[in-house]
Structure 1
Amino acid sequence: MAKRVVPETARRRRRPTKQGQVLTHELIVETALRMLREHGEAGLTARRLGLALGADASTIYRYFRGMDDLILAIADELFGHAMADWAPTGDWRADLRDLGLRIHHAYLAHPQAAVLTASRVTGRPNEVASDEMILGILRGAGFPDAEAVRVYHAFIDQSLAFAILDAATLALPRAAREADEEVWRDTYARLPASTHPNIAATAPLLVARMNDSAYPIALDMLLSSAFRDGSSGTSR
C-alpha cells in the first residue's frame, strides 16, 4: 500500500541531519540524482539514500509515497533543468530546436537517471509547463490544434527516445562503450565491396558519423517536415 505523504509544513525536520542539512524535497531529489550518477539504478534504495542524507530511511517516506514516487520527481526535475532560464524568441522552429536540444542535454547530463525516467509521464509541474510551452509555440505559429498535437507528439517522443538511446550508451561501462564504438572501424570499415558494396562505399562516412548522436539531424528533419505540412502562421 502506498504510504501517506506528510504535508510540507509537518514533515520538515526540526533539526539538521548528521551532515548538518535540513531535509527538503529538493535536497532528496538532487541527492538521488547524484546517487544514480555514481552508482546506477541498483544503488538507489531508501536505505542508501537515507545514509547519504544522514537520516533514517523511513524519513524518505515522509516526503515521497515510495521509491517510484521519487523516480517521478527525478523525471520532473530533469525537465526543470531543461527549462531553466529558457525564454522563447518568437521563431517557432528555432525555439523548438533549442528546447529539444535542451531536453536531450538535460537527460544526457544524468544518463542513469535518463534511462530510468525518460519513458515516464509524471503530470508534475515542470513536465506540464514544458508541454504547455511546446503546444503554445506550435499554436502560436499557426498550426491547427490537431496538427499542433501531432507535431508535439512526434517532437516530445523523439526527444525522449533519443535521450534514452544516447543515455544508455553513456551509462555503459567505459570498456563496453569503447568496444562498441570500435566496431564501426574494426568490422564495418573492413567489409569487402564484393559482399557488402553499399557498406564498403560508405564506410569512411559511417566511421566518422555513427558514434555521434543522430538527434540534432532527426530533430531538424522533424521540424522541416512540420513546416512543410502544417504551419500556416507568420512566425516562421
Structure 2
Amino acid sequence: MSTPTTPSTDVAEPRRRRKPGTKPRLSRQGIIEAAFAVSERDGAQALTFQAIGAQLGAHPTAIYRYFRDKDELLLALLDAIHAEALAGAPEPTDDWAADLAELGRRTYAAFLRHPQVAQFAGARTARRENEFRKVDRVVGCMRTAGFEDADAARYYRVFSDLILAHAALDASLAALDPATRAADLRSWDVEYRTLPADLFPDLAAVADHLPRVDDPGNFELAMELMLDALRMRAAAARSRRRPDDGRKRT
C-alpha cells in the first residue's frame, strides 16, 4: 500500500497530460493523496470536495462515488496516517516495551507530517483496516508483557490515547497560522520567564528550565513515563502468578 505522501499511479492524471475532453481517472487512493495536498497547502478549513476536485482536475461530484461525505473522507485520511506509521515497521519481538516505543514514535511522527488532519486524531476513531492493525499490534505487546486480557485491553487504551493525544496536541500547534503559533511559543520565552517571584514563587524558580511547548522531548518523556509504569505493572503481574499457572499467548 502506498503511503499518503507517495504518489500513486491511481492519482488522476495532471491536466497537462490529458487530451482535451478526456476525464481524469479517479480512485480512493488518488483522492486521499489530493486531500492531503489540499489540507497541507491551504489548511483543514479548505478541505472541501470542490478543492479536492480542483486539485485532481475533476468535477467535485465525482468524489461522491468514493466518499459519501467529508466525514467519511476524514476518517479515511486518519487511517491513511496509520498506514504510513505502520509502513516499514519491524515485526514484533519479545521486547514488548521496545516494540511499543517504536510504534509510538512512528505514530507520532506520521501524524506530525500531516498536522492539518492529525489535529483531529485525538477525538476520532477511523474504524478501518490500518487502525485495526495498529490496535492489534499494541494489544499484542501488552499480552506479550504478561498482562491478563482485561488488563491488556485497558493498558492498550491508555497507552494509545497518550500517543494520539500528544500527536493531536502538537499537530494542533503546528496547524496554527504562523503568527499565532509564534506568539504562543514566544510567551514561554518571554512572559513566563519574567513573572514576579512574589506572586508566582514556584513558577519563577523553574522559569529558566521550562521546556518549549514544541520541544520533541516532551513526547519522549511522556512515553517513557508511561512505559516505566507499564514495566512495573507487568513485573507485579508476573510476581502474582504462580509458576505453574503461566499461560501461553494464543
The reply to whether TM is greater than 0.5 is: yes
Query: Counterpart of 1:139 in structure 2: which amino acid?
Result: R
Shift of 1:200: 1.3
Partner of 2:50: 47
User: Alpha carbons of 1:201 and 1:117: their partners in 2 closer, same or farther (altered >3 Å)?
Assistant: closer
Q: Structure 2: which 5+ runs fail to align?
A: 1-9, 19-23, 239-245
Q: Is 1:139 aligned to residue 120 of structure 2?
A: no
- Which of 185, 189, 193 is the aligned partner of 2:193? 189
One of 161, 179, 194 as aligned partner of 1:157: 161
How many residues are matched? 220
Q: Distance in 2 between matches of 1:156 and 1:139?
A: 15
Q: Is the 8 A contact 2:53 2:63 kept in 1?
A: yes
Match of 1:215 among 215, 219, 225: 219
Equivalent residue number for residue 68 of structure 1: 71
Distance 2:29 2:74 in 1: 13
When the two chains are superposed, the root-mean-square deviation of aligned CA atoms in Å is 2.1
Alpha-carbon distance change, 221 to 64 in structure 1, aligned in 2, over 3 angstroms: same
2:206 is the alignment partner of 1:202: yes
What is the deviation of 1:166?
0.5
Q: Under a length normalisation based on structure 2, what TM-score does the superposition of the two structures give?
A: 0.82
User: What residue identity is the alignment partner of 1:45?
Assistant: T
Shift of 1:17: 6.8
How big is the shift at 1:194?
Answer: 2.1
Q: Which of 158, 166, 173 is the equivalent residue of 1:169? A: 173
Quote the offset at 1:211 in angstroms.
4.0
Matched ranges for 1:7-22 at <5 A:
18=15, 20=18, 22=25
1:110-162 superposed Cα distances (whole Å, 9 cap, x missing partner): 11011134421122110001111111111122111111111100011111111
How far, CA to CA, are the matches of 1:183 and 1:17 in structure 2? Answer: 44
Secondary structure of 2:55's match? helix
State how far apart, in whole Å, the 1-side matches of 2:45 and 2:127 are. 25
Aligned 8 A contact 1:74 1:117 in 2: no
Further displaced range: 167-176 or 86-95 = 86-95
After superposition, where does 1:80-91 map in structure 2 within 5 Å? 80-87=83-90, 88-91=92-95
Code of the aligned partner of 1:25 = R
Task: Give, in angstroms, the shift of residue 230 of structure 1.
Answer: 3.0
Residues 68, 198 of structure 1: alpha-carbon distance in 2 compared, 3 angstrom cutoff: same
One-letter amino acid of the structure 2 residue matched with residue 82 of structure 1: A
Identity %: 37
Asked which structure has the greater RCO (Cα within 8 Å, sep 6+), the reply is: 1
Structure 1 unaligned regions, length at least 5: 1-12
